[in-house]
Chain A
């Protein structure tokens, strides 16, 4: 991946920085400068909490070029608690124990590496939010 292409999205990849529409107050991620709801100009930055839930998920067994080392890996559409949805990999999770509605939170992880001498690309992934109860179950 081109360095500049990744670099200019660093606020989004590392911090889930999106926008809020000053006209209709809808939260926007990824940023698009024009509100998808009211079509007004929307350039006010907004920091998302990173919390959300799984809207849908799948496990990839035949990965595209650049992700061969990760397979099989689970990806999801996550509905953020502020409203918008985002597509991302899940991490720190058993591929067989993902479900729709599962609470997740954003973490920063390595997305891919472009060969031995290439860049390491970091970005957001989502992991399950462990409640005390489920953590206890895991320990048991």
Chain B
């Protein structure tokens, strides 16, 4: 298999973009990524998206986007894995280029979520869970995460306030990301006083939805010409699955698909958690940040919140996470999120992350994207060459 480089990146702001449609958002990100790569076409286009059928009444999305950006005729397909759709689309693109089926691919994650009323969007998001055995009982996706968080606090003795550093760090970093959904730093008091959604999860434990798109251009590493900026290679790519329903897991407090995919990706990259200098994790809820840190080997079981309390998760810390705001404050346009994470790692490895640049010219960054409450988990490791 051929080694792959990420030649170009593009993204739109994440916001309530009432003036922009699904196709317009996707198109902006694709064209920005192609321009960044210095290309005007690609052999294939992979769209990561979760909800276009339910919220925009639009499927056959990949052909629509491909035509919209002036690439009519090009092979294209949509990839869906709930909130993990973005990284799943990336992985499909990687496999196509690595196998030699294509010499270039565009990967775009896009989601348009704010045309619909809140309860409709909440019900659509619940399709990431088990429809017959979770959602049919009236469970929202937030509630499912709340069940996990409550049990975690019970088992390991954490208080709600112990999770505050995850949200505070994310908001502080997003302030310096012009594409982020939220630009308002929060205090521990704000975190404690936020409105309850499904206890113990309050509004500042949960990531905001939004409209947005992010895109990448993939090419074989051997096709990259030196142009003065570091080339970013994909050093590891792996995915694993678990049951959709939390109640079906062997251990509901352990993300086995995170562990499995991270272990494979570490093996491919010849690295371990101690070598990773940036970790864009899937902090859709603060509890998921803790569980990801544990499953990927950055914290012992039950000790995820400790890294935040010890001040280790900021851009200058031992395990910088959510460096551009994370899902919590950059925002979570669900099917696009996995591609935003990769764009942000590329920014860090190129030294283009501005005020939240991880110091010391980092060479290895990892992104982890989660579909559902842990059912599909994809881990990617990028390396600056």
Say whether B132 contacts A9, CB under 8 Å.
yes
Contact status of A75 and B138, CB under 8 A, knowing A56-B148, A58-B150, A65-B122: yes
CB neighbours (8 Å) of A100 from chain B are 150-151, 154
Say whether B247 contacts A75, CB under 8 Å.
no
Contact status of A77 and B138, CB under 8 A, knowing A56-B151, A61-B196: no
Q: Mark B149-192 against chain A: 1 for CB-CB distance below 8 A, else 0.
A: 01100100000000000000000000000000000000000000
CB neighbours (8 Å) of B154 from chain A are 56, 100
Complex Cα–Cα for A90 and B44 (A): 49
Say whether A68 contacts B245, CB under 8 Å.
no
Complex Cα–Cα for A86 and B133 (A): 8
Say whether B119 contacts A63, CB under 8 Å.
yes
Say whether B247 contacts A61, CB under 8 Å.
no
Say whether B151 contacts A62, CB under 8 Å.
no
Q: How many residues does chain A have at the interface if contact means C-beta atoms less than 8 Å apart?
A: 35
Q: Mark B124-159 against chain A: 1 for CB-CB distance below 8 A, else 0.
A: 001000001111111110111011101100100000
Contact with B248, one of A36, A57, A58, A75 (Cβ below 8 angstroms)? A36
Contact with A62, one of B137, B197, B248, B252 (Cβ below 8 angstroms)? B197
CB neighbours (8 Å) of A59 from chain B are 198-199
Q: How far is the CB of B299 from chain A (nearest CB, A)?
A: 21
Say whether B150 contacts A87, CB under 8 Å.
no
Say whether A60 contacts B151, CB under 8 Å.
no
Complex Cα–Cα for A102 and B197 (A): 23
Q: How far is the CB of A91 from chain B (nearest CB, A)?
A: 11
Which of A30, A60, A64, A65 has the most chain B CB atoms closer than 10 A to its own CB?
A: A64
A67 within 8 A of B: yes
A111 within 8 A of B: yes
Contact status of A77 and B247, CB under 8 A, knowing A30-B132, A63-B140: yes
Complex Cα–Cα for A83 and B133 (A): 17
B123 within 8 A of A: yes
Contact status of A56 and B147, CB under 8 A, knowing A9-B132, A62-B122, A86-B247: yes
B361 within 8 A of A: no
Complex Cα–Cα for A55 and B133 (A): 16
Which of A62, A63, A70 has the most chain B CB atoms closer than 10 A to its own CB?
A: A62
CB neighbours (8 Å) of B252 from chain A are 55-56, 77, 85
Contact with B143, one of A1, A5, A58 (Cβ below 8 angstroms)? A58
A73 within 8 A of B: yes
Contact status of A66 and B140, CB under 8 A, knowing A57-B150, A58-B147, A58-B199: no
B246 within 8 A of A: yes
B120 within 8 A of A: yes
Which B223-265 residues sit within 8 Å CB-CB of chain A? Answer: 243, 245-248, 252
Q: How far is the CB of B202 from chain A (nearest CB, A)?
A: 10
Say whether A30 contacts B138, CB under 8 Å.
no
CB neighbours (8 Å) of A65 from chain B are 119-120, 122-123
Listed by A's residue number, 12 A-B pairs whose Cβ atoms lie within 8 Å are A9-B132, A30-B132, A36-B248, A56-B154, A62-B198, A63-B119, A63-B122, A70-B138, A75-B139, A76-B147, A77-B151, A123-B137
Minimum-distance CB pairs A-B, first 7 = A58-B146, A85-B247, A56-B151, A65-B123, A64-B123, A67-B138, A56-B147
Chain B interface (Cβ within 8 Å of chain A)?
118-120, 122-123, 126, 132-140, 142-144, 146-148, 150-151, 154, 196-201, 243, 245-248, 252
Chain A interface (Cβ within 8 Å of chain B)?
1, 5, 9, 30, 36, 55-68, 70, 73, 75-77, 84-89, 100, 111-112, 121, 123
Sample of 10 further A-B pairs with CB below 8 A, known A57-B150, A73-B138, A75-B138: A55-B247, A62-B198, A64-B122, A65-B123, A70-B138, A77-B246, A86-B133, A87-B137, A87-B139, A88-B137
